[in-house]
Amino acid sequence: MLFTAKKFVSIFFMPMSLGLILFFIGLIFLLNKNYKRAKTFLIISFLWLAIIGYSPFSNYIIQPLENQYKSYIKIDPSIKHVLVLGSGHVTNNDVSKLSQLSTTALMRLSEGIRIYRELDDAKLILSGYAGDDVKTPHAFISRDVAISLGVPKEDIITQEEAKDTAEEAIYVKKVVNTEKFILVTSASHMPRAMKIFKTDSLNPIAAPTDYLSKENGDYLREPKAKEIRKTERAMHEYIGILWHDMLGKIRFYVN
């Protein structure tokens, strides 16, 4: 119930959704011949969409998230578990399993395998439920890709029931308990993931990947769709952090 509510509420606060809502309101005023208000909302929606696609703006809001944790380069070989958080995929038997993974999922899995290969006798934990793709759990697609890339099947543990980061923390705790483990996820998602896992008394070592902001942005560059994606990703994380903090306060007062 909370998972569905979170997804529903977040839709209305995402940058692209806000821009379209403002544009829709402007159209309503236009159709009702309220030209002054129509002009106001249409101009605001245009400016908003231009801003969220402007690289200095998108980098400005995503960099505080991506820069909180550095890449995991000096690897401790004694760690026994690497957890790769789930992302997206689309089941399509006309392409390879690797091509069925989203770019984000592939980046996370590649980083997880890179770290796994530096460890002594470790297990690779792959997480993710089916999501919108009802045919195959994300964890199973990631498992098959990992095997095709040389990871032994017996070294892979799947968490195909986990719907979000909070559930991924619950399931991994059954495997690692209080032992240290390496947590692999997108750099922008890492601050929220670390907060959730530490709240559940887990001991993750951050291994961020999938960096979207590798420069400060060009002030003379025109707005682009990829910059809107960065803005959307950042806002998704800020909303997620706020949601987690709100739930924490509610549980505190209830208890």
Cβ atoms 108, 87 nearer than 8 A: yes
Please list the ranges in the chain whose pLDDT falls under 50: none
**3-state SS, residue 88:** coil
pLDDT at 156: 97
What domains can you pick out in the chain, each with its CATH number? 81-209 (3.40.50.620)
pLDDT at 12: 74
pLDDT in tens, 174-229: 999 989 999 999 999 999 999 999 999 999 999 999 999 877 767 778 889 999 99
Kindly write down the DSSP assignment for every residue of 45-86, as one continuous string: HHHHHHHHT-HHHHHHHHHHHHTSS----S--TT--EEEE--
Give the C-alpha separation, 195 to 189, whole Å.
10
Helix, strand, coil content of the chain in percent (nearest 5) = 55, 10, 35
pLDDT at 153: 96
Give the C-alpha separation, 20 to 34, whole Å.
19
C-alpha torsion angle, residues 112, 235, 89, 177 (rounded to 10): 40
pTM: 0.88
